[in-house]
Structure 1
Amino acid sequence: MLNSESVSGRMSFGRVIKSAALSVMLCASLLAANQAAVFAQSAEAPMPPAPKPDPRAAVVPPEEPILNLLDREPEPLFSDTLVPYAPAHSGMTGVSEGLDQGALYLMAKVSQDSPPLDDGLVWRIYSETTTADGRLQLVATSEGGDAEFRLDPGAYLIHTAYGYAQSTNRIVIGKEVMSKMVTLNAGGIKFGASLKDGEELKGRPVSFSIYGREFDERGERDLIASNIKPGSIVRLAADTYHVVSRYGDVNAVVRADIQVLPGKLTEATIFHKAADITLKLVNERGGEAIANTTWSVLSPGGDVVVEAIGAFPDFVLAAGEYEALARNNGRTYLHTFEVVPGHDREVEVVTSVSELASEQAQN
């Protein structure tokens, strides 16, 4: 038989158990509510973007480095048509793109030890998806210095151009923020031209052309750039190039192999041995030039160097000996002359002296 004290003790113990159970349930509810609030907050706000790369920081090879496509088989030709690229916009402050895209921040420098470039770069982003004609799709471009792109997850080709120095790399984009530094391994050439005595050929008809050193199956060099004027700076990938300088349009041509070093500007001055020559057919020394004259300039071996029609034909000729052949009114006149480097002058062909030689040659 239970007494009153034992019944009272059991009732008190039951109350304690119920109270403890209610406390545990209340704590569990509060914990679940806090976790739901944290999850909701994390779903609403995206992770802050990664900081831009520090140009002075040491270069650390990434776990998945950019692959240089210059060491691979050639890719399909790039398309020149820009595919419409309109990233989604978010209503949150400071976030302009959708959360389903990745952010790519790009910088470039000419060598490992040089600072990042802040101008002169052209960035092109190509999708690896090809069009019906086998070309890669251009999805985004940027010009200037560093560049930032928002891209859908996937594989892309990054084409970086700095003058004639170019680099093509492959990268895989996810939904995170990525930053990459492209090292172009490039330098430059500053061109100049002068005569042997050091006189600069400013304002003269001088031009430069840049070729690769190797010959193709047709025995020709690959032309990289042409019609470059003195004083111009051309950006090129580090390598050795074959440079052709022309003074005038005839035979004053100088060739040289010039090496471009990464991160360096090479100043190349080409020395020409030539002069500007003006031809005149006259009846006597110092007389008026005879119009409607046909001219041929011959080498010592009799080869035609240049031809022209007029009273004052003007040529830039390489140093050496030449023969001027003038035809006028059914007669031919000959005169031998020499070109001295830097000695621009008029060369007169006198009819009274040359006519006899012409008649003897015809006989």
Structure 2
Amino acid sequence: MPPAPKPDPNMRIVEPEQAIENLLDRKPEPLFSDTLVPYAPSTHNLSTTGSDIEQGALYLMAKLTRDSEPLNSGLVWRIYSETTNEEGRLELIATAKGGDAEFRLDPGAYIIHTAYGHATSTNRIVIGRDIKSKMVILNAGGIKLSAALSEDLPLEKGPVRFDIYGMEFNERGERELVAKNVKSGSIVRLNSDTYHVVSRYGAVNAVVRADIQVIPGKLTEATVYHKAADITLKLVNTPGGEAIANTSWSVLSPGGDVVVEASGAFPDFVLAAGDYEVIARNNDKTFRTDFSVETGQNREVEVISAAAQSPKASN
């Protein structure tokens, strides 16, 4: 079987009469074109001798959309057997990374998994002893996430992370986690869909949520705005004095709920804008004070130990 020309990425793709089974149960356009296109081996020529005669050849390419150019890097291809092994799992037959990929396979049915970042498609194909090529349409795009306190105060660095979830809830009322701890400014490749994005500034209560749509073949840039500031706590004997060590802390909401607890001379938190009460405990004495957090106003909050004499403090 002599090699043939490489598939033309601009050729018109004819819709199949029946779409190939989509094992991810997604709703967009068929992800796996059923059109047969010419084949050419990527690294070596086909031979008509040996075991090659008993195998089929499969050449795979992928696009973000039907109208986009083929992807030449960043793809991960995995070929699985259709039947499960003794452990009840699909057996991984072959893998490839990069752009287009070539596989030699025994005749039979296989599962082809194509990944481009977090964008994936999973499809079934039947291989004979002939030469076959396919173009996978990922129907995918990407999002670039960033955070800011205002238009003039971007949060390019610091403790900002994003978690990306699907929109549907499972039987436990939880969303499927798609990508975790995404850094600000990172590009995440995703299947075309709407996603629930959770941005966390710090590790306490500065959280912003948004629903963001990923459009096929497009990069969606989104900025979320946090209303928060970085707060450092100090227990001192006099205003501006040295911080007292071995102090334990509790920050409370106006309703009396514990927002965060810590210990040490200089606990530091990112807190959402709002009103709080802080309780400092040192040497079996308790000291309290109220404070407010304003967006972008990073500052120290001092608790004066002399406040133990006030009605709000107790020994």
Alignment TM-score > 0.5, same fold: yes
Match among 139, 144, 152 for residue 190 of structure 1: 144
Answer yes or no: is the 8 Å Cα contact 1:129–1:136 preserved in 2. Answer: yes
Quick check: 1:238 aligned with 2:201?
no
Answer yes or no: is the 8 Å Cα contact 2:205–2:272 preserved in 1. Answer: yes
Could you tell me how far 1:68 is from its partner in structure 2? 2.4
Match among 75, 97, 101 for residue 143 of structure 1: 97
User: What CA distance in whole angstroms lies between the structure 2 residues aligned with 1:209 and 1:222?
Assistant: 11
Match among 136, 153, 162 for residue 107 of structure 2: 153
Answer yes or no: is the 8 Å Cα contact 1:187–1:264 preserved in 2. Answer: yes
User: What CA distance in whole angstroms lies between the structure 2 residues aligned with 1:94 and 1:346?
Assistant: 78
The 3 A distance-change label for structure 1 pair 214 and 66 is: closer
Quick check: 1:345 aligned with 2:314?
no
Could you tell me how far 1:353 is from its partner in structure 2? 3.5
The 3 A distance-change label for structure 1 pair 64 and 155 is: farther
Counterpart position of 1:261? 215
Answer yes or no: is the 8 Å Cα contact 1:194–1:272 preserved in 2. Answer: yes
Match among 203, 213, 218 for residue 249 of structure 1: 203
Match among 297, 310, 313 for residue 356 of structure 1: 310
Query: After superposition, what is the alpha-carbon deviation per residue over 1:174-199, rounded to whole angstroms, capped at 9, x for unaligned?
Result: 11111100001111111101102431
Counterpart position of 1:3? none
The 3 A distance-change label for structure 1 pair 212 and 93 is: closer
Answer yes or no: is the 8 Å Cα contact 1:335–1:354 preserved in 2. Answer: no
Counterpart position of 2:117? 163
Query: After superposition, what is the alpha-carbon deviation per residue over 1:238-286, rounded to whole angstroms, capped at 9, x for unaligned?
Result: 1111110000000000000111111111111110000000000011111
User: What CA distance in whole angstroms lies between the structure 1 residues aligned with 2:17 and 2:255?
Assistant: 67
Structure number with the higher strand fraction is 2
Counterpart position of 2:243? 289
Counterpart position of 1:110? 64
Match among 7, 11, 25 for residue 57 of structure 1: 11
SS in 2 for 1:115: coil
Count, aligned residues: 298
Q: Which amino acid aligns with 2:159?
A: P
Query: After superposition, what is the alpha-carbon deviation per residue over 1:31-52, rounded to whole angstroms, capped at 9, x for unaligned?
Result: xxxxxxxxxxxxxxxx312322
Answer yes or no: is the 8 Å Cα contact 2:2–2:45 preserved in 1. Answer: no
SS in 2 for 1:357: coil
Could you tell me how far 1:292 is from its partner in structure 2? 0.5
User: What CA distance in whole angstroms lies between the structure 2 residues aligned with 1:173 and 1:249?
Assistant: 51
Quick check: 1:133 aligned with 2:87?
yes
Query: After superposition, what is the alpha-carbon deviation per residue over 1:207-258, rounded to whole angstroms, capped at 9, x for unaligned?
Result: 0001111111111111111111101111111111111000000000000011
Answer yes or no: is the 8 Å Cα contact 1:208–1:229 preserved in 2. Answer: yes
Answer yes or no: is the 8 Å Cα contact 2:3–2:45 preserved in 1. Answer: no
User: What CA distance in whole angstroms lies between the structure 1 residues aligned with 2:259 and 2:283?
Assistant: 23
Unaligned runs of 5+ in 1: 1-46, 73-89
Answer yes or no: is the 8 Å Cα contact 1:211–1:243 preserved in 2. Answer: yes
User: What CA distance in whole angstroms lies between the structure 2 residues aligned with 1:336 and 1:68?
Assistant: 57
Match among 135, 160, 166 for residue 212 of structure 1: 166
Q: Which is higher, the Rg of structure 1 or of structure 2?
A: 1
The 3 A distance-change label for structure 1 pair 216 and 68 is: closer
Counterpart position of 1:304? 258
Q: Which amino acid aligns with 1:69?
A: L
Counterpart position of 1:41? none
Counterpart position of 1:119? 73
The 3 A distance-change label for structure 1 pair 159 and 171 is: same
TM-score by length of 2: 0.89
The 3 A distance-change label for structure 1 pair 91 and 57 is: closer
SS in 1 for 2:115: strand
Quick check: 1:317 aligned with 2:256?
no
Q: Which amino acid aligns with 1:169?
A: N
User: What CA distance in whole angstroms lies between the structure 2 residues aligned with 1:296 and 1:97?
Assistant: 72
SS in 1 for 2:24: helix
Could you tell me how far 1:296 is from its partner in structure 2? 0.5
User: What CA distance in whole angstroms lies between the structure 1 residues aligned with 2:238 and 2:50?
Assistant: 84
Kindly indicate whether structure 1 or structure 2 has the higher relative contact order, using CA contacts under 8 Å at least 6 residues apart: 2
Q: Which amino acid aligns with 2:244?
A: I
TM-align CA RMSD: 2.2
User: What CA distance in whole angstroms lies between the structure 2 residues aligned with 1:67 and 1:289?
Assistant: 66
SS in 1 for 2:310: helix
The 3 A distance-change label for structure 1 pair 330 and 91 is: closer
Counterpart position of 2:282? 328
Structure number with the higher helix fraction is 1
User: What CA distance in whole angstroms lies between the structure 2 residues aligned with 1:166 and 1:261?
Assistant: 15
